[in-house]
Structure 1
């Protein structure tokens, strides 16, 4: 499917970034890179430019997902990842995620419940941004859930990154 998203490069699992030391026993990890048209943006501004503009169909899917997974004890807050600002600080929220780390070239957000902990890293590397996801699956239900949504994750992650590039937000 790389032909559908030619500007997005799937990377091997990063081992030297700030998420690497957060891996649990059962985890999922991926990383995607895209060349920037606006390399002056900060990692926080990049997170906003990518995740604050979710397609309507993604928001609808998140609402449906929340109704289903709530029955299995998952925490369901808001239906999106929309940050409150384009310059986030530790403790700020970006949709259902909370900013946990912020350094010059990276911002890391997370959400935690009894089944899993989700981390998203936005790492700026000169003229590209690397978006990395780490999900620590704590329970069997968490493992089943993550494995069942991977096709959606694969498409949605690429769509929102591609949309941000096409709209010249990044």
Structure 2
């Protein structure tokens, strides 16, 4: 059965679910975005792959620029796996924990740690709500400067990728 695209959907900023806050104690930044999908039979990994595995070309260009810049500061580059179904990753993000309704992605570095949580909630017999929550914990001035510089891009990327997530071929 082919999966439906949610390309016409808009993502909306929502409050971070307080139960997720313990996934990164001491976080210094959080946000969450939500979209209602057209399916009710997805699991969290499928939804995360739809969001993160096939970013638009401009996102890939921004990530290449980011990776080049952060390389000068000794920070980790976000490298995309060539295997789209690699069991330990979704897109460039390592899987930390997973259940059918929720997947936790994230990495730790010397400047900051981050977690991305994709959560599914059934809204009816035929639809699901997909929420992506970001938590970031900065460790030092480099982390705070980095976070400040990427936040405008993060907000745009989070909303765009969630809203355009093509659920076909997941």
Report the 3-state secondary structure (helix = DSSP H, G, I; strand = E; otherwise coil) of the residue aligned with 1:154.
helix
Q: Which structure has the higher relative contact order (CA within 8 Å, separation 6+)?
A: 2
TM-score (norm 1): 0.83
Report the 3-state secondary structure (helix = DSSP H, G, I; strand = E; otherwise coil) of the residue aligned with 2:54.
coil
How much does 1:118 deviate? 1.5
How much does 1:82 deviate? 8.0
Unmatched tracts of structure 2, length 5 or more: 1-7, 123-127
In the other structure, the counterpart of 1:14 is 17
- Corresponding position: 1:84 with 2:84: yes
Provide the rounded CA distance (Å) in 1 between the counterparts of 2:9 and 2:48. 21
Moved beyond 6 Å, runs of 4+: none
How much does 1:162 deviate? 1.5
Paired residues for 1:30-49 under 5 Å: 30-49=31-50
- Counterpart among 96, 103, 125 of residue 100 in structure 1: 96
Provide the rounded CA distance (Å) in 2 between the counterparts of 1:99 and 1:82. 16
In the other structure, the counterpart of 1:137 is 138
Provide the rounded CA distance (Å) in 1 between the counterparts of 2:115 and 2:63. 17
Provide the rounded CA distance (Å) in 1 between the counterparts of 2:112 and 2:98. 22
Query: How much is the aligned-residue C-alpha RMSD, in angstroms?
Result: 2.2
How much does 1:41 deviate? 0.6
How much does 1:33 deviate? 0.7
Report the 3-state secondary structure (helix = DSSP H, G, I; strand = E; otherwise coil) of the residue aligned with 1:16.
helix
Report the 3-state secondary structure (helix = DSSP H, G, I; strand = E; otherwise coil) of the residue aligned with 2:18.
coil
Q: Does structure 2 conserve the Cα–Cα contact (< 8 Å) formed by 1:51 and 1:81?
A: no
Unmatched tracts of structure 1, length 5 or more: none
In the other structure, the counterpart of 2:108 is 112
How much does 1:76 deviate? 1.2
Provide the rounded CA distance (Å) in 2 between the counterparts of 1:128 and 1:82. 29
Q: Does structure 2 conserve the Cα–Cα contact (< 8 Å) formed by 1:31 and 1:132?
A: yes
- Corresponding position: 1:63 with 2:38: no
* Greater mean alpha carbon deviation, residues 116-125 or residues 93-102: 93-102
TM-score (norm 2): 0.83
